[in-house]
Amino acid sequence: MNAIETKGLTKRYGTYPVVDNLNLKVAKGSICGFLGKNGAGKTTTIKMLTGLARPDSGTISLSGTVRKYGSSNNSNIGYLPDVPNFYGYMTAREYLNFCGKLYAVEGKKLKARIDGLLKQAGLFNIHKNISAFSRGMKQRLGIAQALINEPDIIFLDEPISALDPVGRNEVMALIRSLRGNITVFFSTHILTDVENTCDHVLILEKGRVLADDTMVDLRQKHAENAALLRLYTPDDGNRFLALAQRQNDLTVESQSPVEFILRADNFYALGKRISFLLTEADIAMERFQAYTPSLDDIFLKVTGGAASE
């Protein structure tokens, strides 16, 4: 079952399509990374999915139910905006108590829910006011409030922006702890966190989906019969590069003076070919292995690499 599904979702500002005929499918219980350059339409998409912006056309289905703009029933979703605001004079417990009551969660059920979320967010023994929290603590509290109503899906818009490495790791650990129980849909510019955390990846560019796949399949599709070769010295690298560039059916991309990405039409014959060339040139090989592109490589390839205007 898909937790999130859209068909033909479109949003224009004037005549410009910020989100253009968007068709998404996100499986229940997965963690989905939503990527794109600035201005790609990520925040607008999330606002439509959460009911904060009206689509011009298309449909949205969350947990199997078609959602209409203006619906008062948001009990099965949670949301953390890109710039969350908190009541700084409250403690984390007071804030979650306030948020829970907005969803009509009361009494012992609310207390148990707050206790569980504070433990999950690593804030159970923190009694100071939110105004004294670090950014990472505030983001973890923000995720906790998005979970207070026990939603099926939570939407997180740039939950790790402006965090230091410690805060980022804490927030990502909290997101990973939700896998399988809640569908997490979050946007970010930090691709390594998506690569290390997400089951599914969506890449948006100018309001259109350029990539929509599992992390495993996305890597396989972009491997392109490639291998990584590492030599021992820059001199070996220069001699190999001069030799390889004379081969019409071999593409070489330098990663460093001693490391190269090699591509050929026949991957299985590539190893024998490189071994032969190195033996003929008396060049020692430190490492030769199948090349798996990083999410950064894939992102730059599918988006063209240039920054949005």
Domains and CATH numbers, the chain: 2-220 (3.40.50.300), 224-291 (3.30.70.100)
Q: Are 225 and 266 in contact (CB under 8 A)?
A: yes
Q: What is the pTM of this model?
A: 0.82
Report the amino acid identity of residue 129.
N
Rg (CA), the chain: 24
Q: End-to-end CA distance of the chain, in Å?
A: 38
Average pLDDT over residues 23-46: 93
308: pLDDT confidence band, cut at 50, 70 and 90?
Answer: very low
Chain-centroid distance of CA 32 in Å reads: 6
* Lowest mean pLDDT across 88-92, 126-130, 161-165, 202-206: 161-165
Task: Give pLDDT, residue 230.
Answer: 93
pLDDT in tens, 172-183: 999 999 998 899
Look over the chain and give the mean of its residue pLDDT values, rounded to a whole number.
89
Max mean pLDDT among 63-67, 91-95, 136-140, 177-181 falls in 91-95
